[in-house]
Protein backbone atom coordinates (compact mmCIF):
# COMPACT_ATOMS: atom_id res chain seq x y z
CA UNK A 1 0.00 0.00 0.00
CA UNK A 2 2.79 2.41 0.84
CA UNK A 3 4.18 2.14 -2.65
CA UNK A 4 0.96 3.02 -4.35
CA UNK A 5 1.33 6.85 -4.41
CA UNK A 6 4.87 6.47 -5.66
CA UNK A 7 3.66 4.18 -8.39
CA UNK A 8 0.90 6.58 -9.36
CA UNK A 9 3.22 9.57 -9.57
CA UNK A 10 5.70 7.56 -11.62
CA UNK A 11 2.87 6.65 -13.91
CA UNK A 12 1.82 10.30 -14.08
CA UNK A 13 5.34 11.39 -14.96
CA UNK A 14 5.55 8.75 -17.66
CA UNK A 15 2.20 9.86 -19.04
CA UNK A 16 3.27 13.50 -19.13
CA UNK A 17 6.45 12.58 -20.91
CA UNK A 18 4.48 10.60 -23.45
CA UNK A 19 2.01 13.44 -24.04
CA UNK A 20 4.93 15.84 -24.30
CA UNK A 21 6.60 13.75 -26.99
CA UNK A 22 3.32 13.21 -28.83
CA UNK A 23 2.55 16.93 -28.76
CA UNK A 24 6.00 17.85 -29.89
CA UNK A 25 5.75 15.61 -32.90
CA UNK A 26 2.28 16.89 -33.76
CA UNK A 27 3.58 20.45 -33.50
CA UNK A 28 6.46 19.86 -35.88
CA UNK A 29 4.21 18.16 -38.40
CA UNK A 30 1.79 21.07 -38.35
CA UNK A 31 4.58 23.58 -38.50
CA UNK A 32 6.27 21.99 -41.51
CA UNK A 33 2.96 21.27 -43.19
CA UNK A 34 1.83 24.87 -42.90
CA UNK A 35 5.00 26.81 -43.42
CA UNK A 36 5.70 26.21 -47.09
CA UNK A 37 2.73 27.86 -48.82
CA UNK A 38 1.75 30.74 -46.52
CA UNK A 39 5.34 31.89 -46.50
CA UNK A 40 5.43 31.83 -50.27
CA UNK A 41 2.17 33.76 -50.13
CA UNK A 42 3.18 36.54 -47.73
CA UNK A 43 6.71 37.01 -48.94
CA UNK A 44 5.83 37.29 -52.57
CA UNK A 45 8.17 40.14 -53.40
CA UNK A 46 6.50 41.06 -56.64
CA UNK A 47 2.95 41.35 -55.37
CA UNK A 48 3.85 43.21 -52.24
CA UNK A 49 6.22 45.54 -53.93
CA UNK A 50 5.60 49.25 -53.40
CA UNK A 51 3.98 49.43 -56.80
CA UNK A 52 0.87 47.71 -55.51
CA UNK A 53 1.05 49.03 -51.96
CA UNK A 54 0.98 52.60 -53.22
CA UNK A 55 -1.91 52.30 -55.63
CA UNK A 56 -5.53 52.55 -54.58
CA UNK A 57 -6.05 49.08 -56.01
CA UNK A 58 -3.74 47.44 -53.47
CA UNK A 59 -6.59 46.06 -51.42
CA UNK A 60 -8.38 44.73 -54.49
CA UNK A 61 -5.24 42.97 -55.63
CA UNK A 62 -4.75 41.33 -52.25
CA UNK A 63 -8.33 40.18 -52.23
CA UNK A 64 -7.88 38.89 -55.77
CA UNK A 65 -4.82 36.95 -54.73
CA UNK A 66 -6.81 35.35 -51.93
CA UNK A 67 -9.51 34.41 -54.39
CA UNK A 68 -6.90 33.04 -56.76
CA UNK A 69 -5.43 30.88 -54.00
CA UNK A 70 -8.87 29.67 -53.03
CA UNK A 71 -10.51 29.05 -56.41
CA UNK A 72 -7.82 28.86 -59.07
CA UNK A 73 -4.57 27.57 -57.58
CA UNK A 74 -5.83 23.97 -57.38
CA UNK A 75 -5.53 23.83 -61.16
CA UNK A 76 -3.43 26.82 -62.20
CA UNK A 77 -0.94 26.46 -59.33
CA UNK A 78 -0.15 28.87 -56.49
CA UNK A 79 2.23 30.80 -58.72
CA UNK A 80 -0.03 30.53 -61.78
CA UNK A 81 2.22 28.31 -63.83
CA UNK A 82 -0.53 25.81 -64.60
CA UNK A 83 0.82 23.16 -62.30
CA UNK A 84 -1.79 22.90 -59.52
CA UNK A 85 -2.62 19.65 -57.74
CA UNK A 86 -5.57 18.92 -60.04
CA UNK A 87 -3.69 19.77 -63.24
CA UNK A 88 -2.69 16.15 -63.89
CA UNK A 89 -6.21 14.84 -63.34
CA UNK A 90 -8.12 16.90 -65.90
CA UNK A 91 -7.72 14.48 -68.78
CA UNK A 92 -5.47 13.87 -71.75
CA UNK A 93 -4.10 17.01 -73.31
CA UNK A 94 -6.08 19.30 -70.98
CA UNK A 95 -3.71 21.66 -69.26
CA UNK A 96 -4.64 24.66 -67.12
CA UNK A 97 -3.25 27.79 -68.73
CA UNK A 98 0.13 28.97 -67.53
CA UNK A 99 -0.89 32.45 -66.38
CA UNK A 100 2.72 33.58 -66.22
CA UNK A 101 3.12 33.06 -69.96
CA UNK A 102 3.20 36.66 -71.16
CA UNK A 103 3.29 35.61 -74.81
CA UNK A 104 -0.14 34.01 -74.63
CA UNK A 105 -1.66 36.25 -71.99
CA UNK A 106 -0.81 39.44 -73.87
CA UNK A 107 -2.82 38.15 -76.83
CA UNK A 108 -5.97 38.25 -74.69
CA UNK A 109 -7.95 41.36 -73.92
CA UNK A 110 -9.01 41.92 -70.32
CA UNK A 111 -12.55 41.33 -71.52
CA UNK A 112 -11.55 37.92 -72.94
CA UNK A 113 -10.20 36.92 -69.53
CA UNK A 114 -13.27 38.23 -67.73
CA UNK A 115 -15.53 36.19 -70.00
CA UNK A 116 -13.59 32.93 -69.50
CA UNK A 117 -13.58 33.30 -65.73
CA UNK A 118 -17.24 34.23 -65.65
CA UNK A 119 -18.65 31.81 -68.21
CA UNK A 120 -16.13 28.99 -68.06
CA UNK A 121 -13.79 27.56 -70.69
CA UNK A 122 -16.44 26.39 -73.13
CA UNK A 123 -17.99 29.86 -73.31
CA UNK A 124 -14.82 31.02 -75.08
CA UNK A 125 -13.91 27.90 -77.03
CA UNK A 126 -11.60 26.48 -74.38
CA UNK A 127 -11.93 23.21 -72.52
CA UNK A 128 -14.90 22.92 -70.15
CA UNK A 129 -12.49 21.78 -67.43
CA UNK A 130 -12.12 25.50 -66.80
CA UNK A 131 -15.20 26.06 -64.62
CA UNK A 132 -17.54 29.10 -64.75
CA UNK A 133 -17.36 31.36 -61.70
CA UNK A 134 -20.26 33.73 -62.34
CA UNK A 135 -22.35 32.12 -59.60
CA UNK A 136 -19.47 31.79 -57.13
CA UNK A 137 -17.78 35.18 -57.42
CA UNK A 138 -19.13 38.69 -57.68
CA UNK A 139 -18.49 40.65 -60.85
CA UNK A 140 -16.00 42.92 -59.09
CA UNK A 141 -14.13 39.90 -57.75
CA UNK A 142 -13.84 38.55 -61.28
CA UNK A 143 -12.53 41.93 -62.45
CA UNK A 144 -10.05 41.78 -59.57
CA UNK A 145 -8.89 38.37 -60.80
CA UNK A 146 -8.36 39.78 -64.28
CA UNK A 147 -6.08 42.39 -62.74
CA UNK A 148 -4.32 39.71 -60.76
CA UNK A 149 -3.73 37.68 -63.93
CA UNK A 150 -1.97 40.76 -65.31
CA UNK A 151 0.22 40.71 -62.21
CA UNK A 152 1.05 37.07 -62.81
CA UNK A 153 1.93 37.49 -66.49
CA UNK A 154 3.59 40.85 -65.88
CA UNK A 155 1.94 41.84 -69.11
CA UNK A 156 -0.78 44.07 -70.47
CA UNK A 157 -3.92 43.04 -72.27
CA UNK A 158 -4.15 43.19 -76.03
CA UNK A 159 -6.39 46.25 -75.74
CA UNK A 160 -4.44 48.23 -73.17
C1 LIG B 1 -10.68 22.56 -62.40
C2 LIG B 1 -9.50 23.24 -62.88
C3 LIG B 1 -9.53 24.74 -63.04
C4 LIG B 1 -9.86 25.70 -62.12
C5 LIG B 1 -10.32 25.48 -60.69
C6 LIG B 1 -9.65 26.97 -62.77
N7 LIG B 1 -9.22 26.78 -64.04
FE8 LIG B 1 -8.80 28.24 -65.38
N9 LIG B 1 -8.44 26.85 -66.81
C10 LIG B 1 -8.41 25.50 -66.59
C11 LIG B 1 -8.05 24.83 -67.83
C12 LIG B 1 -7.91 23.33 -68.02
C13 LIG B 1 -7.84 25.84 -68.78
C14 LIG B 1 -7.39 25.69 -70.23
C15 LIG B 1 -8.48 25.30 -71.14
C16 LIG B 1 -7.97 25.11 -72.54
O17 LIG B 1 -6.79 25.40 -72.82
O18 LIG B 1 -8.74 24.66 -73.36
C19 LIG B 1 -8.12 27.09 -68.10
C20 LIG B 1 -8.07 28.32 -68.73
C21 LIG B 1 -8.21 29.52 -68.09
C22 LIG B 1 -8.15 30.81 -68.73
C23 LIG B 1 -8.01 31.07 -70.22
C24 LIG B 1 -6.64 31.49 -70.56
C25 LIG B 1 -6.55 31.95 -71.98
O26 LIG B 1 -5.69 31.42 -72.67
O27 LIG B 1 -7.30 32.83 -72.37
C28 LIG B 1 -8.26 31.75 -67.75
C29 LIG B 1 -8.26 33.25 -67.90
C30 LIG B 1 -8.42 31.04 -66.50
N31 LIG B 1 -8.40 29.70 -66.73
C32 LIG B 1 -8.55 31.65 -65.29
C33 LIG B 1 -8.94 30.98 -64.13
C34 LIG B 1 -9.25 31.64 -62.90
C35 LIG B 1 -9.10 33.12 -62.65
C36 LIG B 1 -9.64 30.67 -62.03
C37 LIG B 1 -10.13 30.85 -60.63
C38 LIG B 1 -11.21 31.79 -60.40
C39 LIG B 1 -9.56 29.39 -62.72
N40 LIG B 1 -9.12 29.63 -63.99
C41 LIG B 1 -9.88 28.18 -62.15
C42 LIG B 1 -8.70 24.84 -65.43
C43 LIG B 1 -9.12 25.43 -64.25
> What ranges do the domains of the chain cover?
1-42, 50-153
Question: Are 86 and 66 within 8 A, CB to CB?
Answer: no
Smallest CA separation from ligand 1 atom 2, residue: 75
Q: Which protein residues touch ligand 1 with a CB less than 6 Å away?
A: 71-72, 74-76, 86, 90, 94, 96-97, 104, 108, 112-113, 116-117, 121, 126-127, 129-131, 133, 145
Mutate to test the pocket of ligand 1, among 83, 85, 89, 97 (most ligand atoms within 8 A of CB): 97
How far CA 82 is from CA of 37, 71, 72, 125, in Å, comes to 16, 13, 10, 18
Mean pLDDT of the chain: 79
How much helix, strand and coil, in percent to the nearest 5, is found in the chain? 60, 0, 40
Q: Identify the pLDDT of residue 159.
A: 80
Residue-wise pLDDT for 50-77, tens only, equals 444 334 467 788 899 999 999 999 999 9
Neighbours of 64 (CB within 10 A): 24
Q: Identify the pLDDT of residue 58.
A: 75
Residue 130 is classified by DSSP as S
Smallest CA separation from ligand 1 atom 34, residue: 72
Q: What CA–CA distance (Å, rounded) separates 124 from 116?
A: 6
pTM (predicted TM-score): 0.73
Question: Are 69 and 78 within 8 A, CB to CB?
Answer: yes
Q: What CA–CA distance (Å, rounded) separates 43 from 38?
A: 8
Q: What is the CATH number of domain 50-153?
A: 1.10.760.10
Gap from CA of 44 to ligand 1 centroid (Å)? 22
Q: Identify the pLDDT of residue 104.
A: 98
Amino acid sequence: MQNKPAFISLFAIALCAFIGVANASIDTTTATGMSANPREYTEDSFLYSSRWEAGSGAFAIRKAKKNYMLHCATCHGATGEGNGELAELLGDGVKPRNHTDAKIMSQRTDEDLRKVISGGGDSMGFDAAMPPFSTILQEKEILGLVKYLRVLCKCKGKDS
